[in-house]
Amino acid sequence: MLGSNRITLTPLLETDISEEYLESLNDQDYMQYSKNSAFTHTLKSQISYIMNFTKSNHLLFGIKSAEDGKLLGTINCYINFTGMTLNLGFLIFRNHQGKGYTSEALGLLIPYLEVQFPGMQAVIGSNRNNLAMHRVARKLDFQLKSVENHEENLNLHFVRSFSQVNSQFFPIIPDFIFNANTIGVVAYDAGGAEQITWLLRNLPQKTMSYIDGPAQKIFDSSGISFDQVDQLEKIMECDLVITGSGWMSELEKTAIKQAKSRDIPCITVLDHWVNYLERFAPDEDCQPQILAVTNSVALQIAQEKFPNKVVWLLPDFQLENYKEKIQSVEKSPSAILILLEPTSASNSVFAINYDVITSLIESAFSIKRARGLNKVLIRLHPSQVGDSRLSRNLKEIPGNFEISEGGSLIEDLEVSKVVLGLSSYALYISAMCGLDTYSCFAGMKGHWTERFPRISPLPTYL
């Protein structure tokens, strides 16, 4: 609820419909500048109007007296992520006009929308003869949008642009997500699935999920309640879709494309700091509609790569939870944890092959001897579980090590003093939790670890 000393804004309910409400709507003189003047409004028609908002992602508020709860008017907001606009409409009932309620209601709503929909543009449409509305718009720093043939154009648009989120912004779950009636999730990539499951842990809705590949294990071990479906088509029956952003399959891109074609809001969770554009190429229809990140570095990159998209900064629930658990561990950790990743066929300087993996494991043994630690623990990437070729290669490496059987990353971090890896997002988690963290690519120009000085180059021991 939004409020001031005089008024409150609360979701409009069917029980709020009054005779005064209907009388104002049906007063053609009073409504002369509104398209609603062409219709006859009844209790039944207004119930249908309110129900349509309830079933949608758009916003509809009642403007009420703070003193006695009397309904004074209404205000709505149609959300268009494709056009990046928030189209506002409002009505103060005839008996309450001229008392400043419109300006006051907008003065409450605009700051709320700025937080909820960063980077978007609020729009007030008005008949060009409705001078009172023009004054209200200008009072609230809306600017007249230039149009051709201004004198001949019957409708004018006043706009106000909202700033993007910055690193000082407090992370939130937008109400747009909380208010969704049904949420469908599509995930294949492990990293995106991990981020999504932590978001779902903090939502009241039970979700419908279409998952495959490494994401399956992440969801199964998350402890969250979800209905798994076997067809992507069923996800498109939801009024909000959330996807990961991996490049291991076409699943998530297909979901984004289908949601766009059906005008279903779709949020894509970015879980890393690399290849943002490449993940969705080459089809522009697969470009994310709305993006969500959990740290300031990802926020900056996403805003640079997708300048005309909403980018939400969500709380990093995973990191917060892991920090708390590691700080509460009573025993002194004594293992070295190696975070493995799939090999890649690229010629990049950051390509991962078996030679790189072997070198990483040999470095772990050197650190173990130098620091007097007890064991080397290897955590496989979800896609590597059951990889017979990897198993054969690991057996050829001299030295004793264990393959982790931990279901979640935190189980391995809790017993580890040192963490080694390549390019895994888990290195960031480890470093931010205060563990000694090293990457074989740290210190190399162009690698994402440049942004995180807590991740060090591999130490060398003679």
pLDDT tens digit sequence for 40-75:
889 999 999 999 999 999 999 999 999 999 999 999
By mean pLDDT, which of 14-18, 122-126, 384-388 is the weakest? 384-388
Q: According to the model, what pLDDT value does residue 148 have? A: 55
Number of other residues whose CB lies within 10 A of the CB of residue 129 = 11
Q: According to the model, what pLDDT value does residue 41 have? A: 87
| pLDDT at residue 149 tops 60 | no
| pLDDT at residue 211 tops 80 | yes
Number of other residues whose CB lies within 10 A of the CB of residue 431 = 21
Q: According to the model, what pLDDT value does residue 461 have? A: 66
Q: Is 271 helix (H, G, I), strand (E, B) or coil?
A: coil
Q: According to the model, what pLDDT value does residue 378 have? A: 93
Q: According to the model, what pLDDT value does residue 190 have? A: 86
- Measure the CA–CA gap between 203 and 195, rounded to whole angstroms: 13
Lay out the sheet containing 436-439: strands in order across: 402-403, 375-379, 335-339, 416-421, 436-439, 455-457
pLDDT in tens, 303-335: 999 999 999 999 999 999 999 999 888 878 999
Lay out the sheet containing 71-80: strands in order across: 2-3, 7-11, 59-65, 71-80, 85-92, 121-127, 155-161, 143-144
Higher pLDDT, 277 or 453: 453
Q: Is 79 helix (H, G, I), strand (E, B) or coil?
A: strand
pTM for this prediction? 0.90
**Residue 188 CB contacts under 8 Å (≥ 6 apart), including other chains:** 211, 212, 213, 214, 215, 244, 246, 248, 249, 251, 252
* Ramachandran area for residue 119 (φ above 0: left; ψ -120 to 50: alpha; else beta): left
Q: According to the model, what pLDDT value does residue 342 have? A: 87
Which structure tokens are listed for 170? 């407090």
| pLDDT at residue 181 tops 80 | yes
Q: What domains are there in the chain, each with its CATH number?
A: 2-161 (3.40.630.30), 175-315 (3.40.50.2000), 323-457 (3.40.50.2000)
- Measure the CA–CA gap between 292 and 273, rounded to whole angstroms: 13
The label of the residue with tokens 């008017």 reads 73
Rounded to 5°, the CA angle 329-331-336 comes to: 90
Number of other residues whose CB lies within 10 A of the CB of residue 381 = 18
- Measure the CA–CA gap between 217 and 52, rounded to whole angstroms: 38
By mean pLDDT, which of 153-167, 344-358, 438-452 is the weakest? 344-358
Compute the average pLDDT of residues 153-182.
91
231 burial (CB, 10 Å; 0-12 / 13-18 / 19+) is: exposed
For 350, 448, 456, 457, 458, the CA distances from 444, given in Å and listed in that order, are 9, 9, 11, 9, 11
By mean pLDDT, which of 14-28, 142-156, 253-267 is the weakest? 142-156
Compute the average pLDDT of residues 389-397.
81
Sign for the pseudo-dihedral over CA of 406, 411, 415, 421: positive
Mean residue pLDDT across the chain: 91
